[in-house]
Copies of this chain bind each other. A is one copy, B any other.
Amino acid sequence: MSTSSVQAGLPLSTIPIFTTVQAYREWRQNAFLDQKTVGFVPTMGALHDGHLALVKRSLAANDLTVVSIFVNPAQFAPHEDLATYPRTLPNDLALLADLKHLPSPSSPPRTPSALFLPSVQEMYPSGISQEVGRQSGTFVEVKGYGEQMEGRSRPTFFRGVATVVTKLFNIIQPTNAYFGQKDIQQGLLLRRLVTDLHMAHPAPERLHIVPTARDPASGLALSSRNAYLSEAERRTAPALYAALQAAARAWDAGESKARCVRGAVDVLEAAARAGAAEGVEVKVDYVEMNDPGTFEVLGEEARREEAPVVLSAAVWVGRTRLIDNIVLGDTRGMIMG
């Protein structure tokens, strides 16, 4: 395998870069014949410690690890931030090149094996419009699982996610795939997809959801979109996680869903008042509790002593939309330990 990759328009990289499906397939075929396991971390780039935590999990559990960077037009609505979404490829490559895992003291260290970096044309051979009504070609939809929570605020988001991840799984053919808990609905919806479509790579139980990486001091969930925040907004943003924690404490104290959600909104409203003094506008999009199996919204008076519940929220901080969630109750089999 080549140790460097120099391609037209691409930065120098110690990790082999594949830009076409065909070139990747040859590499993957050899891995199959060698009976190597392949871990996969799909990303939209602008890598941060949350992504790196996923890659580390993959390095530890697989012979080979593939990372993809693809900003997927189909999951952005026309009014959303496709054009301004942060693109930091040289930095992404440097971060990935620094990752190492030692399977044992005597083994050579494992590093990311390949980066898949396709063009929009390569991923969407029939072309792609951000306007659903003007799209043609093949799309995948997980009915009944994409209309709540994030899907309610972003109606065609999960259709775009389901479509691009189906393509990526068919291309990469991973033994294991890793997703962050920050996008928990995405992870659970993709498990449904992999089950329903009977995908062989990955098998449903090989699609892993890894706990959200957070800023150690404030608890703010790491996100590529944090790069949009001004300094004052950055000081306000941790209120999102604080709000979820307040609701979780209320839940643990035996309160109803309605009171837990009220507790979270109180924290966010206090942050909004404090932020206003600094010129920061905070707007709550939603705070909700859902069943992790069906995403069904819990009733206002709901209490579940045993079954897990997803507590999630989205807020606008200035012009940046941030999401976060925590799982209440028993998360076994749902989130990686």
Q: A: which residues have CB within 8 A of B?
A: 21, 25, 32, 123-126, 135-145, 162, 166-167, 170-171, 173, 192-193, 195-200
Neighbour of A197 across the interface among B32, B170, B193, B195, CB < 8 A: B170
Residues of B within 8 A of A192 (CB): 126, 137-138
Neighbour of A139 across the interface among B125, B141, B167, B198, CB < 8 A: B141
Known interface pairs A25-B200, A198-B170; A162-B138 also in contact (CB < 8 Å): yes
Residues of B within 8 A of A143 (CB): 135-139
Residues of B within 8 A of A25 (CB): 200
Residues of B within 8 A of A125 (CB): 195-196
In whole Å, how far is A43's beta carbon from the nearest beta carbon of chain B?
Answer: 18
In whole Å, how far is A219's beta carbon from the nearest beta carbon of chain B?
Answer: 34
B141 touches A138 (CB 8 A): yes
Tell me, in angstroms, the Cα distance from A135 to B21 when the chains sit together: 33
For the residues of A in contact with B, the DSSP-based class is mixed
A166 touches B124 (CB 8 A): no
Residue with the greatest number of chain B CB neighbours at <10 A, chosen from A140, A167, A192: A140
B137 touches A198 (CB 8 A): no
Tell me, in angstroms, the Cα distance from A153 to B68 when the chains sit together: 41
Tell me, in angstroms, the Cα distance from A137 to B200 when the chains sit together: 18
A137 touches B126 (CB 8 A): no
Q: How many copies does the complex hold?
A: 2
Tell me, in angstroms, the Cα distance from A199 to B197 when the chains sit together: 13
Residues of B within 8 A of A144 (CB): 126, 135-137
Tell me, in angstroms, the Cα distance from A196 to B123 when the chains sit together: 8
Residues of B within 8 A of A173 (CB): 200
Tell me, in angstroms, the Cα distance from A314 to B166 when the chains sit together: 34
Tell me, in angstroms, the Cα distance from A196 to B138 when the chains sit together: 6
Tell me, in angstroms, the Cα distance from A124 to B138 when the chains sit together: 20
CB nearest to A25 among chain B residues: B200
Residues of B within 8 A of A195 (CB): 125-126
CB nearest to A189 among chain B residues: B138
Tell me, in angstroms, the Cα distance from A135 to B144 when the chains sit together: 8
CB nearest to A142 among chain B residues: B138
In whole Å, how far is A288's beta carbon from the nearest beta carbon of chain B?
Answer: 19
CB nearest to A294 among chain B residues: B136
Tell me, in angstroms, the Cα distance from A219 to B143 when the chains sit together: 43
Known interface pairs A124-B196, A171-B198, A195-B125; A140-B138 also in contact (CB < 8 Å): yes
In whole Å, how far is A198's beta carbon from the nearest beta carbon of chain B?
Answer: 5
Tell me, in angstroms, the Cα distance from A137 to B191 when the chains sit together: 11
A139 touches B140 (CB 8 A): yes
Tell me, in angstroms, the Cα distance from A199 to B125 when the chains sit together: 13
A197 touches B142 (CB 8 A): no
CB nearest to A140 among chain B residues: B140
Tell me, in angstroms, the Cα distance from A197 to B138 when the chains sit together: 7
A167 touches B197 (CB 8 A): yes
In whole Å, how far is A161's beta carbon from the nearest beta carbon of chain B?
Answer: 12
Residues of B within 8 A of A126 (CB): 144, 192, 195-196
Residues of B within 8 A of A200 (CB): 25, 170-171, 173
